[in-house]
Structure 1
Amino acid sequence: MIICKVIGNVWATRKEETLSGEKLMVVQRMDLDEKVSEEIFVAVDCVGAGIGEQVLVTTGSSARMALRNQDAPVDASIVGIIDEVQAQAGE
């Protein structure tokens, strides 16, 4: 899983049929120090995240599993909203 920040929405009136009714969000990858990287991508929102929230994103076939639709052309899904991250620096 990847820690990201939601930075926007995507509206698409015409899209693949299996994506109908799905909320698409623009996310930016973050590190443990909450610094954003240059990596920005679109993820399907499975949990009702909002702009500005830190989220957990899963990619690949796990993203389709989270969506519960193996036929959907999805490679990233938001699967959690982060309340807090605790991590100890590597030694």
Structure 2
Amino acid sequence: MIVGKVVGSLWATRKDNKLNGLTFLMVKPYSHDDARVQHEYIVAADNAGAGVGDNVLVTTGSAARTSLANADIPVDAVIVGIIDSIEVTDE
């Protein structure tokens, strides 16, 4: 799973019919080595009601598809949770 921050929305008027009704958000993943945000973006279907500025939990691959009501929807990243807090202990 990926932890990241929602930084925007994505609209596509022309898309596969199976994607109709889904909300797509732009997520900037946090890096594993520190709390800074990476420069890559992920487009994720929202299954948790997230919004811009939320820290979210994103699942990818086949787990993403099974988190939606219909496993035949062609997505590879889904927001499955909104994070309330993150606590990291350095070792």
TM-score by length of 1: 0.91
Unaligned runs of 5+ in 1: none
TM-superposed deviation, 1:8 = 0.6
- Aligned pair 1:2/2:32, yes or no? no
- Secondary structure of the equivalent of 1:14? coil
Quote the sequence identity (%).
Answer: 50
Quote the residue 1:35 is aligned against.
36
Quote the residue 1:53 is aligned against.
54
Aligned 1:42-81 pairs, distance under 5 A = 42-81=43-82
| Cα distance per residue 1:35-67 (max 9 Å; x no partner) | 100121200000110001110000000000111
Displaced runs of 4 or more, over 6 A: none
- Secondary structure of the equivalent of 2:67? helix
- Secondary structure of the equivalent of 1:13? coil
Equivalent pairs, count: 90
TM-superposed deviation, 1:34 = 3.0
TM-superposed deviation, 1:68 = 2.4
TM-score by length of 2: 0.91
**Aligned counterparts of 2:50 and 2:35: Cα–Cα separation in 1:** 18
